[in-house]
RNA sequence: CGGAGUGUGGCUCAGUCUGGUAGAGCACCGCGUUCGGGACGCGGGGGUCGCAGGUUCGAAUCCUGCCACUCCGACCA
């Protein structure tokens, strides 16, 4: 992409409403624009990141056996009356009346809809287990939106819903999502720690929040330090038996504020391993049994021919929130530092003299070769001073910067800068390309 | 929802207390000089000061109401 013809409205100064670093950087780097409290338009660069995160989440869901669908944003109030949640949900639900005076709502979550879909088609335990997920915009009319996309009212969420004939099966489904989440966050360059979470009225131990440790996190968390650096299981696991992997993680202490038990923490975790930190919740999984299947009559025939309500679980990832979380975890004074897996472009080419034919020719040449190697490129061909270009490049945080100017062209070299480390190298173009495509 | 605060060109902000008809820097347009870490000179364009009402000869400035946004706290992917 040629920057002179792109739409990248960066800001030199920080808009006054942004308090935390990820929000400031998202506005300054031209990723988003606020349209109302907690409601954002996604600009080209931000949208590219959002799509990449979404794709990684999708791939890991599918690897774990979940099947993608797309449910509507607008739902019928009647479904929520069936589950008993219509009155319970409160003012966070955006309620809408259509022209026929029918009560509708903008979905804050989709248990009711997915249960309705399920019961419409699935009648036998033979069709289980089933896990349906979708990546769709949700709306929760938060009392106090803040922190940019970390706590917006409208947000993109991946929500998966598992259906099993009994609790044993449901636990297996739960474990699949548990491992899928570990792999997902790892691919996104994040260290996410699963922590025991409140299960509500259902009880049991099957609810975990996945927390990214960051100084600006919204909640206080307590965990065994060894959990933080535990590597993700990866794709090559026995997806039919994940219990040992899950046990390995859940054996170590990890809890958010509301679930924290100080005496247990002290007793179970060695002094050197005790970690008290701030965290950002990026995922939440739980098993809720027959909470929806019973009132909504999502029933299948069991092996014995008797009807049983299905056991369900739901599994959420805040896709749009993840962008904020990634920036919180990966930035410096100059701007964002994108992990390679989610960067909006792989490489930024900086043309230091767009009016110099030889320099521009060298840039075009490098661009063509990078494209041929499958790299995405943002080519800064603007007629600007170098200082501004460097500042923009650091701000938007592409993993690599290929800097091409008259001096280098005369000497037959370019400068290659790695954003994460700031490390620079002057070398021939071919060597630089080799490094970039290695 | 309780508490606090802010609304003045695209952005950051001054002017409001002590009413007199809107200003700076950045950004933008033109010309020129520049050009390896957000340059400089000259010349321009753009706002009626969140909205409505009131007081006054006169309101960004005073009064009333409303709206929006932000921050702190309680709640959530």
Q: Are residues A321 and A413 part of one domain?
A: no
Within 8 A by CB and 6+ apart from A307, the residues are: A299, A300, A301
Same domain assignment for residues A212 and A352: no
Q: How large is the angle between the packed helices A167-187 and A243-250, nearest 10 degrees?
A: 70
The DSSP result for A338-350, as a single string, is --TTT-S-SEEEE
Cβ contacts of A267 within 8 Å, gap of 6 or more: none
CA dihedral angle for residue A158, residue A163, residue A167, residue A171, rounded to 10 degrees: -40
Q: Where does the pLDDT of residue A90 fall: very low under 50, low under 70, confident under 90, or very high at 90 and above?
A: confident
Q: Is the peptide bond before A129 cis (omega within 30 degrees of 0)?
A: yes
Q: How far, in Å, is the CA of A190 from the C1' of nucleotide B17?
A: 52
Mean pLDDT over A154-180 rounds to 96
Using the CA of A20, give the nucleotide whose C1' is nearest. B71
In whole angstroms, how large is the CA radius of gyration of chain A? 24
- Number of structural domains (chain A) is 2
Split at pLDDT 50, 70, 90, the class of A200 is low
Q: Note whether residue A342 is domain-resident.
A: no
The reply to whether the CB atom of residue A316 sits less than 7 A from any atom in nucleic acid chain B is yes
User: Does residue A285 sit in the same domain as residue A366?
Assistant: no
| Residues A288, A191 share a domain | yes
If you measure CA to C1', which residue is closest to nucleotide B76?
A142
pLDDT at A205: 66
Residue numbers in A 339-368, CB below 7 Å of strand B: 352-353, 355
A51 and A133 belong to one structural domain = yes
Instruction: Judge whether residue A423 contacts strand B, using its CB and a 7 Å cut-off.
Output: no
A317 shares its domain with A359: no
Note the pLDDT tens digit of each residue in A45-57.
999 999 999 999 9
Supply the ipTM of this predicted assembly. Answer: 0.93
Predicted pLDDT at A201: 56
A310-356 pLDDT tens trace:
999 999 999 999 999 999 999 999 999 999 999 999 999 999 999 99
The whole-number pLDDT of residue A106 equals 95
A36 touches strand B (CB under 7 A): yes
Any domain includes A341: no
Residue A16 — very low, low, confident or very high, per pLDDT cuts 50/70/90?
confident
* CA proximity to A350, closest of A304, A302, A309, A384: A384
Q: What is the largest CA-CA distance in chain A?
A: 82
User: A251-282 pLDDT, tens per residue?
Assistant: 999 998 888 888 999 999 999 999 998 899 99
| Separation in Å: B54 C1' and A96 CA | 37
Residues 40-99 of A with CB under 7 A from strand B: 91
Q: Could you check: is the Cβ of residue A412 within 7 Å of any atom of nucleic acid strand B? A: no
In a domain, A312, yes or no: yes
Give the pLDDT score at A32: 95
CA distance A195 to A263: 17
Same domain, residue pair A313 and A235: yes
Range A116-136 average pLDDT: 98
* A402 CA, B42 C1': Å apart: 36
Q: Which residues pair with A311 in a beta bridge?
A: A164
Q: What is the pLDDT of residue A423?
A: 96
Asked if the Cβ of residue A415 lies within 7 A of any atom of strand B, the reply is yes
On the question of pLDDT at A202 being above 60, the answer is no
| Measured CA A418 to C1' B32 distance, in angstroms | 37
Task: Say whether the CB atom of A107 is under 7 angstroms from strand B.
Answer: no
Average pLDDT of span A35-60: 96
Rounded to whole angstroms, how far apart are CA atoms A145 and A57?
A: 25
Task: Give the CATH number, domain containing residue A392.
Answer: 3.40.50.800
Taking the C-alpha atoms of residue A162 and residue A97, their distance in angstroms, rounded to an integer, is 31
Q: Is residue A45 part of a domain?
A: yes
pLDDT-based confidence at A220, cuts 50/70/90? Answer: confident
Q: Which of A333, A361, A383 is the last residue of a domain?
A: A333
Q: Which nucleotides of B are covered by protein (CB under 7 A)?
A: 1-2, 11-13, 25-27, 34-39, 68-77
pLDDT at A203: 56
Residue A267 lies in a domain: yes
Give the pLDDT score at A30.
95
Q: Output the distance from A332 CA to B68 C1' rounded to whole Å.
A: 33
Q: What is the CATH number of the domain that holds A132?
A: 3.30.930.10
Give the per-residue pLDDT at A15: 86
Residues A27 and A135 in one domain: yes
| Straight-line distance from the first to the last Cα atom of chain A, in angstroms, rounded to the nearest whole number | 22
A340 in a structural domain: no
pLDDT of residue A206: 87
The residue out of A284, A308, A333 marking a domain boundary is A333
CB A104 within 8 A of CB A77: yes
Residues A53 and A123 in one domain: yes
Q: Is the CB of A201 under 7 A from strand B?
A: no
> Mean pLDDT throughout A390-404?
97
CA A113 to chain centre: 23
Mean pLDDT of chain A: 94
pLDDT at A148: 92
Q: Residue A125: inside a domain, yes or no?
A: yes
Mean pLDDT of A418-424: 97
What is the residue range of A160's domain?
Answer: 3-333
Residues A312 and A165 in one domain: yes
A206 and A160 housed in the same domain: yes
My answer on whether A11 and A155 are in the same domain is: yes
Which pTM value belongs to this model?
A: 0.96
In a domain, A338, yes or no: no
């Amino acid at each position: 992409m040629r920057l002179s013809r792109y739409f990248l409205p960066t800001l030199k100064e920080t808009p006054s409403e942004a308090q935390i670093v990820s929000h400031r950087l998202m506005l300054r780097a031209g990723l988003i624009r606020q349209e109302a409290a907690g409601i954002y338009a996604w600009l080209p660069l931000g949208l590219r990141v959002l799509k990449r995160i979404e794709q990684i989440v999708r791939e890991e869901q599918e690897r774990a056996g979940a099947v993608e669908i797309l449910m509507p944003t607008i739902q019928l109030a009647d479904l929520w009356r069936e589950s008993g949640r219509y009155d319970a949900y409160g003012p966070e639900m955006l309620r809408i009346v259509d022209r026929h005076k029918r009560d509708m709502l903008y979905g804050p979550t989709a248990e009711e809809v997915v249960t309705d879909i399920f019961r419409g088609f699935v009648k036998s335990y033979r069709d289980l287990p089933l896990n349906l997920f979708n990546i769709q915009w949700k709306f929760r009319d938060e009392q106090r939106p803040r922190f940019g996309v970390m706590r917006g009212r409208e947000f993109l969420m991946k929500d998966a819903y598992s259906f099993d004939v009994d609790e044993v099966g449901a636990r297996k489904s739960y474990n699949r999502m548990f491992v899928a989440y570990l792999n997902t966050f790892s691919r996104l360059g994040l260290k996410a720690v699963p922590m025991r979470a409140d299960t509500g009225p259902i009880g049991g131990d099957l609810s975990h929040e996945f927390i990214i440790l960051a100084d600006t996190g919204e909640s206080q968390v307590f965990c065994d330090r060894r959990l933080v650096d535990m590597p993700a299981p990866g794709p090559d696991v026995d997806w039919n038996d994940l219990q040992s992997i899950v046990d390995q993680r859940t054996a170590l202490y990890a809890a958010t504020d509301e679930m924290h038990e100080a005496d247990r923490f002290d007793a179970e975790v060695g002094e050197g391993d005790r970690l008290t930190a701030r965290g950002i919740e990026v995922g939440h999984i739980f098993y809720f049994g027959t909470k929806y299947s019973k009132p909504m009559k999502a029933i299948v025939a069991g092996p014995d021919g008797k009807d049983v309500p299905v056991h369900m679980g739901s599994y959420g990832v805040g896709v749009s929130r993840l962008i904020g979380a990634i920036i919180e975890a990966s930035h410096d004074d100059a701007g964002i530092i994108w992990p390679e897996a989610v960067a909006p472009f792989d490489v930024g080419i900086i043309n230091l003299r767009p009016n110099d034919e030889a320099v521009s020719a060298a840039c075009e040449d490098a661009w063509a070769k990078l494209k041929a190697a499958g790299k995405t490129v943002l080519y800064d061909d603007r007629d600007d001073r170098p200082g501004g270009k460097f500042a923009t490049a650091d701000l938007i945080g592409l993993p690599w910067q290929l800097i091409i100017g008259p001096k280098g062209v005369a000497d037959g070299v370019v400068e290659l800068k790695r954003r994460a480390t700031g490390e620079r190298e002057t070398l021939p173009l071919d060597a630089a390309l080799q490094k970039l495509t290695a």
